[in-house]
């Protein structure tokens, strides 16, 4: 059996820049990946199956519309494999858990089935707007509907605290609640030399879905206030369409210490640094 780590995606900013004729919104976002995530496994089998476990596994069921099964059928219809999912991330939480799982499944199955020459990016986009960036799993600027990936500014090392209040926020409801003009894509440098410079640059940006998400789930505002009050928190913001929010810290150690202070019943909390692709985890 082979396994792959599926890290959480965090949108450091998210601007809604327009809307296509088919209704899809155009986005501009700087995505990074936290050193926390799900684990996807795969091994040879005659039929396709999925077994789900982990802290948030009970929320999911191995139905036909599960993204891992969709990824397998899209890559090679009719092929068999025994898939496993250790679900450590909250479901429908704005940190790309399902998308990261689908991306990990594509990579695992392509290797398992000897399809390493297949271009996975177009398949990833068919599975969802966040799947292409999760296929990369490193800091990147995502634009369009998620299919345009361009280099991110070179980032300094930093830490973050993630908090989800246990409320699933439907993405369509958040977009429906969004009002006002579309945003202009910000001009980003090739690199941020240090933490303070990065925070200044990110502060000039926003998450355009934050206000409408708070309207849908007011507890998000409570989470943001709690994060912003943590010692050493330099920036508190919502990720994606919510409800997970984050605060940025100068070091991963500071973030881990802060996460212990904010923990409360019903809230999923994590603190640490960024995921480093290629590091030995499994």
119 as an active site residue: the answer is no
| Residue 198 contacts residue 235 (beta carbons within 8 Å) | no
Percentage of the chain beyond pLDDT 90 is: 90
Locate all alpha helices (DSSP H) within 83-209, ordered by sequence: 97-112, 120-127, 131-136, 171-177, 195-203
Q: Which two tokens stand for residue 236?
A: 């508190």
44 as an active site residue: the answer is no
pLDDT in tens, 250-262: 999 999 999 999 9
Question: CA 133, CA 138: separation in Å to the nearest integer?
Answer: 8
| Residue 156 contacts residue 30 (beta carbons within 8 Å) | no
pLDDT in tens, 91-119: 989 999 999 999 999 999 999 999 999 99
CATH classification of 152-272, choosing from 3.30.70.890, 3.10.129.10, 3.40.50.2300, 3.40.50.300? 3.30.70.890
Among the options 38, 101, 130, 208, which is catalytic? 130
Q: Does 174 have pLDDT greater than 70?
A: yes
Mean pLDDT of 174-185: 94
| Residue 159 contacts residue 254 (beta carbons within 8 Å) | yes
pTM across the whole model: 0.95
Confidence of residue 168 (pLDDT cuts 50, 70, 90): confident
The full set of domain ranges for the chain reads 2-150, 152-272
- CATH number for the segment(s) 2-150: 3.30.230.10
| Residue 270 contacts residue 161 (beta carbons within 8 Å) | yes
């Amino acid at each position: 059996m082979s396994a792959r780590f599926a890290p959480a995606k965090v949108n450091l900013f998210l601007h809604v820049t327009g809307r296509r004729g088919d209704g899809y919104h155009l986005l501009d976002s700087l995505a990074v990946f936290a050193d926390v995530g799900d684990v996807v496994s795969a091994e040879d089998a005659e039929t396709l199956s999925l077994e789900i476990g982990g802290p948030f596994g009970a929320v999911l069921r191995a139905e036909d519309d599960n993204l891992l099964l969709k990824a397998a059928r899209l890559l090679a219809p009719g092929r068999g494999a025994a898939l496993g999912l250790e679900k450590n991330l909250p479901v429908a939480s704005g940190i790309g858990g399902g998308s990261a799982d689908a991306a990990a499944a594509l990579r695992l199955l392509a290797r398992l089935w000897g399809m390493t020459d297949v271009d996975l990016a177009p398949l990833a986009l068919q599975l969802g707007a966040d799947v292409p960036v999760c296929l990369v799993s490193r800091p990147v600027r995502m634009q369009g509907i998620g299919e345009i990936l361009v280099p991110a500014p070179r980032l300094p090392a930093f830490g973050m605290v993630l908090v989800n209040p246990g409320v699933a926020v439907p993405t369509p409801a958040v977009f429906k609640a969004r009002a006002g003009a579309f945003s202009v894509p910000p001009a980003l440098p090739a690199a941020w030399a240090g933490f303070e410079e990065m925070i200044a640059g990110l502060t000039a940006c926003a998450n355009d879905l934050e206000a409408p998400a708070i309207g849908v789930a007011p507890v998000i505002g409570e989470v943001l206030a709690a994060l912003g009050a943590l010692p050493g928190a330099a920036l508190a913001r919502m990720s994606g369409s919510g409800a997970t929010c984050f605060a940025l810290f100068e070091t991963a150690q500071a973030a881990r210490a802060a996460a212990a202070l904010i923990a409360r019943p019903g809230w999923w909390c994590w603190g640490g640094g960024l995921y480093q692709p290629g590091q030995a985890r499994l």
